[in-house]
């Protein structure tokens, strides 16, 4: 490009070509060279690993601060070779982490931190609540000021707390989280969710007398009478009679993460929706973002009256086929990748999808899915130079960057199953010899469908054996599941899941009604199938949900080892007079097997329908297979329970525990209430197909045998 510009400059001298023409051509050449081909992520600090990182920050130098949800803040050098961190602050004894959304959830340095040493935190607490001058027990969100130590300004002083604001939290979810100082006004912005449970039962979103369901803006450098802060006079709602003046914007369900564009000052927020949509908003002073009258741009509850005359539409939104919990991100203002400048990056916690929003020449915003990351995206952040990072619950910090790597959107996948090499004979349903059939001891519930399972390994590779948890499959491994159901045992779906570097790439092929071929549906597809009517010979229509690629990624997560059925407990069974694991070992399909391996003593799941197994074992296996991929430490499930079979029952955090995600209107509900299945949320969620159903992806039919088993188990508890 440089030689071309020099030649044009010479040509201008010789021919008198207009200078502005040459400049325009040069700009076009630069733009072409900097054209964005794709966006990816890379592990920015390979030698570091954190425990549930939820925020990344800086103070204008070459240090980075990472906040862990349990109440610890680390500081380290912004260098790829960094291998150690220093504890900047530890307030874990103050922080409550019972609910999955609770903890140290917000952190911000004062704009004048270098001179005054002040920083602010937002954390969950179940200590004594101070409200209206009275002391009471309860859950609360606390916003507090801290200072660095007088004798060591490189660390925070955990004893320096000054509480700025406390907000009662009626439930354990929808706590909001982010706090941040405006780059233009120096004021502190605070996010509080609507208070929790489904449907905003307190009406917080459109109630201007509460701080819930809103983003606040306060002045922490001054105080109004009776407050530890001042309310900015230009807060629009400060002039509304009866309204809390702290409110900057209302009508928000649960903004877990927002950020400020350091160049424009714009506040970008990701608001988690309920049943259908998540949204991204550019939040303005006095804005009303519609909840719970609106969910994104769609009507949610028509009888709700807005607190203002109108509501603000989101900049972007996406439906449940793309994800279930938006994680607000950051606008890129770095120097390393000028082609990313002005792009807002955000993601979805469950699906791991990452999007880019940028403003086009006509002023409209364009929202583009740029990467399936394979990560549980907890937060984004930026360093002093404006480089953007992604924080995942795998404990790693990733840098957002341009890439030429494929985007994993299935563009290159065959559109028809007949175009693949999966079946040797599609008509006869005969699989290719390259695929190895496997069976599991306890099948995952798939609305009563029959399943056949296969895997294919890359040449000269093997699966790595693990005594517990998922076996490690090599990159390039394919897992195939065929689903049959209905009166004629019709083929419904063939699901293909391929192991790639960043996780899984999943594809759903839906079969036509005649069973001649199947078509790729990356966004999933609903179709009609027939189910037997209990107690009769009749059949009734039902909906079969073929999941989208994003929905598949919501379960096949890093914390569960990506692959779900290939593990010792599931595969350790005798089929066709052979132990399956021993057969795989003999065929050299499995490696890293201990010399003392014995199928008789190795882990083995029973089938929950096998009444020869004891009741508790059957119930625990059922929960392990159908629920534990999400409900485990660092898993994507919202409830803080651990349903893995290997976890001791007393350590699962479900026996006698109050629910964090709503009680479905059940008085004195518990996750499991011993002796009372009807008051146990775990049982009730699996025994409904309405709101609150679990599992919440890919199932439209209640597993009646499973709920009967759970009822019997729970009712038998003392």
DSSP characters over 244-307:
-TTEEEE--S-EEEEEE-TTT--EEEEE--SSSEEEEEEE-TTEE--TTTEETTEES-TTPPPS
Check whether residue 464 and residue 595 sit in a common domain: yes
Task: Tell me phi and psi for residue 526, to 5 degrees.
Answer: -95, 140
Total structural domains in the chain?
4
Residue with tokens 């019972």: 98
Q: How many helices (H) and strands (E) does the chain have?
A: 9, 43
Inter-residue contact 371 to 39 (CB < 8 Å): yes
Cα 119 to Cα 104, 155, 706: the distances in Å are 14, 11, 50
CA dist., res. 707 & res. 715, Å (int):
12
CA dist., res. 149 & res. 157, Å (int):
5
Inter-residue contact 121 to 146 (CB < 8 Å): yes
Check whether residue 620 and residue 599 sit in a common domain: no
| Residue range of the domain that includes 638 | 608-718
CA dist., res. 212 & res. 169, Å (int):
9
pLDDT score recorded for residue 380: 98
Beta bridge partners of 143: 122, 165
Write out the H or E segment, with its range, that includes residue 386.
none
Residues 6+ apart with CB under 8 A from 31: none
Closest CA to 519 of 530, 528, 511, 531: 511
The domain boundary, picked from 605, 626, 653, lies at 605
Check whether residue 320 and residue 422 sit in a common domain: no
* Residue 240: Cβ within 10 Å count: 15
Check whether residue 272 and residue 235 sit in a common domain: yes
Sign of CA dihedral 372, 45, 465, 462: positive
Check whether residue 391 and residue 454 sit in a common domain: no
pLDDT score recorded for residue 667: 85
pLDDT score recorded for residue 23: 39
Which stretches in the chain have pLDDT values below 70?
A: 1-35, 128-137, 408, 487, 558-562, 638-639, 661
pLDDT score recorded for residue 615: 96
Relative to beta strand 590-591, strand 463-464 is parallel
Closest CA to 69 of 48, 98, 45, 109: 98
For 616: left if phi > 0, alpha if psi spans -120 to 50, otherwise beta; the answer is alpha
- DSSP assignment string, 124-172: EE-S-EEETTEEE---EEEEEEEEE-SS-TTSEEEEEEEEEEEEE-SSS
Query: Helix, strand, or coil here: 642?
Result: coil
Check whether residue 324 and residue 398 sit in a common domain: yes
CA dist., res. 359 & res. 402, Å (int):
18
pLDDT score recorded for residue 118: 98
Inter-residue contact 334 to 385 (CB < 8 Å): yes
Instruction: Give the CB-side neighbour count of residue 514, counting CA atoms within 13 A.
Output: 3
Residues 6+ apart with CB under 8 A from 298: 276, 277
Reading the block at residue 53, the tokens are: 């990182």
The domain boundary, picked from 605, 632, 648, lies at 605
3-class SS shares of the chain: helix, strand, coil, % to 5:
15, 35, 50
Check whether residue 238 and residue 269 sit in a common domain: yes
Check whether residue 127 and residue 84 sit in a common domain: yes
Check whether residue 716 and residue 578 sit in a common domain: no
Cα 265 to Cα 139, 163, 176, 283, 359: the distances in Å are 33, 27, 21, 11, 16
pLDDT score recorded for residue 37: 78
Residue with tokens 């519930």: 445
Distance of CA 180 to the CA centre of its chain: 22
Residue 94 gets which letter from DSSP? T
Query: Helix, strand, or coil here: 711?
Result: helix
Check whether residue 147 and residue 186 sit in a common domain: yes
pLDDT score recorded for residue 405: 79
CA dist., res. 418 & res. 425, Å (int):
9
Check whether residue 471 and residue 488 sit in a common domain: yes
CA dist., res. 413 & res. 240, Å (int):
56
pLDDT score recorded for residue 36: 75
Write out the H or E segment, with its range, that includes residue 617.
helix 615-627
Reading the block at residue 628, the tokens are: 């534990």
Closest CA to 710 of 608, 612, 642: 608
The domain boundary, picked from 605, 636, 660, lies at 605
Check whether residue 157 and residue 199 sit in a common domain: yes
């Amino acid at each position: 490009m440089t030689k071309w510009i020099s030649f044009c400059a010479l040509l201008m001298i010789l021919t008198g070509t207009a200078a502005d023409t040459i400049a325009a051509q040069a700009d076009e050449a630069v733009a072409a060279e900097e054209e964005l081909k794709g966006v990816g992520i890379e592990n920015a600090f390979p030698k570091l690993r954190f425990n549930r990182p939820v925020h990344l920050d800086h103070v204008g130098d070459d240090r980075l601060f990472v906040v862990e949800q349990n109440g610890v803040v680390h500081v380290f050098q912004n260098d790829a070779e960094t291998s150690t961190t220093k504890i900047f602050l530890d307030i874990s004894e103050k922080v409550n982490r019972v609910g999955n959304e609770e903890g140290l959830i917000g952190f911000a340095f004062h704009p004048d931190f270098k001179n005054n040493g002040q920083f602010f935190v937002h954390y969950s607490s179940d200590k004594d609540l101070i409200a209206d001058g009275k002391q009471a027990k309860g859950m609360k969100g606390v916003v507090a000021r801290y200072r660095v130590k007088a004798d060591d300004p490189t660390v925070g002083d955990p004893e320096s707390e000054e509480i700025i604001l406390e907000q009662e939290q009626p439930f354990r979810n929808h706590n909001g989280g982010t706090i941040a100082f405006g780059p233009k006004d120096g004021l502190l912005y605070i996010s509080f969710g609507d208070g929790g449970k489904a449907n905003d039962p307190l009406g917080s979103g459109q109630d201007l007398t509460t701080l819930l369901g809103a983003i606040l803006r306060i002045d922490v450098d001054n105080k109004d009478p009776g407050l530890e802060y001042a309310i900015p006079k230009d807060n629009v709602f400060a002039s509304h009679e009866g309204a809390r003046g702290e409110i900057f914007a209302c009508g928000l369900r649960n903004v877990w993460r927002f950020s400020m564009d350091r160049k424009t000052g714009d506040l970008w927020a990701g608001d988690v929706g309920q049943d259908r949509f998540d949204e991204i908003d550019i939040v303005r002073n006095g804005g009303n973002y519609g909840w719970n009258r609106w969910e994104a741009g769609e009507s949610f509850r028509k009888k709700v009256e807005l607190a203002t005359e109108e509501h603000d539409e989101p900049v972007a939104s996406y439906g449940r086929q793309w994800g279930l919990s938006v994680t607000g991100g950051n606008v890129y203002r770095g120097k390393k990748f000028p082609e990313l400048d002005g792009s807002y990056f955000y993601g979805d916690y469950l699906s791991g999808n990452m999007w880019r929003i940028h403003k086009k020449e006509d002023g409209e915003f364009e929202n583009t899915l740029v990467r399936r990351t394979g990560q549980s995206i907890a937060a984004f952040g930026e360093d002093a130079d404006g480089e953007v990072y992604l924080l995942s619950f795998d404990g790693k910090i990733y840098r957002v960057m341009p890439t030429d790597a494929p985007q994993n959107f299935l563009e290159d996948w065959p559109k028809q199953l007949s175009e693949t090499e999966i079946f040797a004979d599609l008509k006869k349903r005969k699989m290719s010899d390259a695929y190895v059939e496997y069976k599991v001891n306890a099948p995952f519930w798939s609305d009563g469908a029959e399943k056949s399972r296969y895997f294919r390994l890359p040449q000269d590779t093997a699966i790595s054996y693990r005594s517990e948890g998922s076996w490690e499959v090599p990159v390039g491994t394919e897992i195939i599941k065929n689903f049959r159901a209905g009166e004629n045992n019709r083929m419904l779906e063939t699901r293909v899941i391929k192991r790639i570097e960043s996780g899984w790439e999943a594809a759903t092929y839906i079969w036509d009604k005649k069973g001649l071929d199947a078509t790729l549906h990356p966004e999933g597809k609903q179709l009609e199938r027939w189910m037997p009517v209990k107690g009769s010979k009749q059949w009734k229509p039902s909906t079969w949900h073929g999941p989208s690629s994003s929905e598949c990624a919501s379960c096949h997560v890093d914390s569960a080892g990506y692959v779900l059925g290939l593990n010792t407990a599931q595969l350790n069974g005798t089929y066709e007079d052979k132990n399956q694991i021993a057969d795989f070992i003999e065929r050299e399909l499995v490696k890293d097997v201990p010399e003392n391996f014995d199928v008789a003593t190795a882990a083995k799941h029973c089938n929950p329908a096998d009444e020869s197994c004891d009741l508790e074992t059957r119930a625990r296996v059922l929960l392990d297979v159908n629920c534990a991929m999400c409900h485990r430490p660092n898993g994507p499930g919202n409830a803080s329970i651990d349903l893995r079979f290997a976890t001791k029952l007393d350590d699962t955090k479900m026996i006698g525990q109050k629910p964090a995600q709503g009680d479905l209107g059940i008085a004195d509900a518990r996750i499991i209430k011993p002796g009372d299945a009807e008051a146990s949320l775990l049982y009730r969620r699996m025994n409904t197909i309405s709101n609150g159903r679990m599992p919440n992806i890919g199932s439209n039919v209640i597993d009646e045998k499973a709920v009967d088993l759970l009822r019997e188990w729970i009712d038998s508890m003392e």
